[in-house]
Amino acid sequence: MDKTTLLGLIFGTACIIVPMFLGGKPSAYWDLKSILITIGGAVSSTLTSYRPAEAIQILKVTAKAFRDKGIELEKTVKTLVDLSHKARREGLLSLEAEMENINDEFMRQSIQLVVDGVEPDVIIETMDLELESIEARHKRGQGMYKTLGAMFPAWGMIGTLVGLVVMLKSLDDPDSLGPAMSTALITTFYGSVLANLVALPIANKLAIKSEEELHEKRLIVEGILSIQAGENPRIMEQKLKTFLSPEQKRRYAELTQEYDGREEKTQPNFSSTVG
């Protein structure tokens, strides 16, 4: 689970609710009519902007903002380097046996193309189309929350205008002016909070997760093409490490050292003692 998304929402909500209680009248911030106008209007505008099938996916898209997929590029590089060593020793067809051990569907598809003997240009074209499809799908999900982020303040302002109209019609009753003005302003408050605490931050989080996923898939494409070309695994390793951040490079070094250590322990000791 992506804890930062949840913590951000909880902390932001606390920063709003605590001052309400310190002010002494938290009930003053509750108005059902304003909620219906702000949330109902924004949701209806968003539904109008998308097809039914896309709108239904909003719950699935929302879950992605709270789910940590756990992309570890250093492990992806390690897997590709291991596949490169195997292909150099046993040939490209030997990679087919490794496919069942790979969880990433995109990597499996790429390896299958190599095993099938598909030309590099065709592999690049196929994988680029796949990446474009993934990116377009991600942007639709981000677009829903960006639309909500734009609609919440707009409908908050509409609610304010409705409240002002009601207030102006009640000018002959001074006692109703205060409550009417409060209702007029509370819709703008709701719109601003929902846009800047919920909708736009979730859209940004989805954009970050999308770029991380696409970055990993570009790394996979580069590695698969190097394997198909018969590139030296060491050269390929250095090339793929350019996709890693300094911290990921450090973890990769630790990962390879740990792996090499295990390999050495499994090697038989042929040394003899001369006495």
- The tens digit of pLDDT for each residue in 38-51 reads 999 999 998 888 88
Quick one: pLDDT band at residue 265, thresholds 50, 70, 90? very low
Asked if the structure places residue 275 within a domain, the reply is no
More confident residue, 133 or 265: 133
Average pLDDT of the residues of the chain: 84
Mean pLDDT of the region 8-18: 89
Cβ of 123: how many Cβ atoms within 10 Å?
A: 19
Mean pLDDT of the region 241-252: 91
d(CA 162, CA 155): 10
Quick one: pLDDT band at residue 71, thresholds 50, 70, 90? confident
Asked if the structure places residue 245 within a domain, the reply is yes
Asked if the structure places residue 113 within a domain, the reply is yes
Asked if the structure places residue 52 within a domain, the reply is yes
Percent of the chain beyond pLDDT 90?
A: 40
pLDDT of residue 184: 80
Asked if the structure places residue 205 within a domain, the reply is yes
- Burial letters for 69-87: b for 16+ Cβ neighbours within 10 Å, e otherwise? eeeebbebbbbbbebbebb
> Domain containing 248: what range?
36-61+70-257
Is the CB of residue 196 less than 8 Å from the CB of residue 153?
no
Supply the pTM of this predicted model. 0.80
Is the CB of residue 29 less than 8 Å from the CB of residue 186?
yes
More confident residue, 146 or 180: 146
Asked if the structure places residue 272 within a domain, the reply is no
pLDDT of residue 258: 62
Asked if the structure places residue 15 within a domain, the reply is no
Q: Tell me the two tokens of residue 199.
A: 């909708």
Q: Among 13-22, 119-128, 265-274, name the most confident range.
A: 119-128
Quick one: pLDDT band at residue 274, thresholds 50, 70, 90? very low
Number of domains in the chain: 1
Asked if the structure places residue 198 within a domain, the reply is yes
